Structure 1
Amino acid sequence: MKKRSLLVALVMAVTFSFGSIVSASEVTNTHSSSDSLSTYSFESAANSYFTGYVQQNISETAKVSGEDYEKLERQFELNKDNPLKNYKISQIDDSNPQNISFSVELTYDDLGTLPPVPYEAELVNGSYKIEPVENVIVDMDPESSEYRSVVVEDKVTYASDEQNDNGSEISPYATLSYYAGDFIYENELKFFNTSLFDTTKGSVTIIGWQQSNLGVPTEYVVALRYTIATTGTSGQIIKLGNAVQVPGEYKKDTDRFTKICTSITNGKNRALLVENKGTGNVKFAGNTYE
């Protein structure tokens, strides 16, 4: 699976912390006077973008965001029960003033402070527009070998509402959520962020089936990994607790597997993340229970 490391080299000697609104006079400027206006514009845009999330003020974020407004509305809705508490810009690469890359440490009540996640600021008509890097995965499973890693995945899809409508084909009925995928491609991740649930017990049970979409030729290996995850401020996928890998086929009409994801950080707006770790395409469905 192709992954791009997000450990961005620190190219400025100063770190900006925006826990509250920062004025231009409070920011150390390492640029020449000819660069001052654009530098201040970037700092102001970044401050407005994240302050809007802290204060749950979508208008503050929208005025400096390069994202579609409907997408912002969705993100604010997902984050209203666990809003951003603080943020710190830790790495800035302004070698190209037209497109500045930077990383941000995001802090939440339930998750604590995440490792730095990437953003970009594009200069548009003299003002900077802030956008997150898409398909960012943050591993917050303490038992994972990739704990606190931040990567960009090549293949991430988001389940539609139609794939979360009911759990009638799996017994017993889901107490948390139903999930289903017509198929998931090799090396693909599918995030069921339209079927959210809350956790209170630190574990989630998954009962489901999975089978090759091609009749299981002998050269194909069926193996899916299931993880409980949540959504960060700008759509980052944050893995929580222990992932479970399910090898082999469990036929839709005859078989079921039962697995338990443990050590989950409890909270609101959790969802299932499914990864295809085998070869070939796989169809799957199931329920989650607490």
Structure 2
Amino acid sequence: MNGIDKIIETALAEDIHTGDITTLSILPKSRSMRARLVAKESLVLSGIKVAERVFTMLDPHCRFEALFADGAHIEKGDIIARMEGDAALLLQGERVSLNLLQRMCGIATQTAAFVKELEGTGARVVDTRKTTPGLRVLEKYSVRVGGGTNHRTGLYDGVLIKENHIAAAGGIKEAVRLARNYIPHTLKIEVETETLQDVAEALEAGADIIMLDNMSLAEMTEAVLLIGKRALVEASGGVNLQTIRAIAGTGVDIISVGALTHSVRAADISMLMEGA
């Protein structure tokens, strides 16, 4: 939990700073209260342990009872968790806990919707690096909870040669050669392509994965035939719930969706103090 604790500590410091003046003025003395987390809409749960950690970091004596585990399909009105602890500390942790939980649930719920659209196609939904700075570990975890697959975690664990790398190297073939000479044999090389000519060059250069970036359905179909299973094929660009199944129908293996994380709507969850 070390990395997650740092995220929470930073978020709490940002929110509380020198003190929660509203709570301190209303609750000057320690007082134990109960509260509950309630779903205001249907969602896929992700981040319940993170939500719990916010409260237990503030109040080690807080008793937190999760009523569902991550991956559960929650209905509107369901009580997700109950807690009991120092009322002031529950209130101080409320917004940070909800901000993280709501975003994580939003990502898991959105991912599950994309995964459902691909049922029976054989294609996989993967995420991208278009994540909230500092929250990538939580957001990529939520993609997995929703049934999706993670792409590379960062710049350090995978080679993805994009248009600017190609321009800097002087071409696809040279970019792949340089990368192959630099990396260990255990890493694969992916190349972003925009045209069928790019696809042919990437194949000739020995790319392990070929990304079809913003191609039409007809172009993707032709590219898949050209590649002929000599490399994994990833489709990217402009993917949404209305288009993803047709994209899968072209025969690609992987479909990357930036919208899983970069513009997802937070799920609607409330914390209610007992009696509220």
The TM-score bracket by the shorter chain reads: under 0.3
- Give the strand-richer structure, 1 or 2: 1
Q: TM-score, normalised by structure 1?
A: 0.24
- Give the helix-richer structure, 1 or 2: 2
User: Looking at both structures, which has the greater relative contact order when contacts are Cα pairs under 8 Å and sequence separation is at least 6?
Assistant: 2
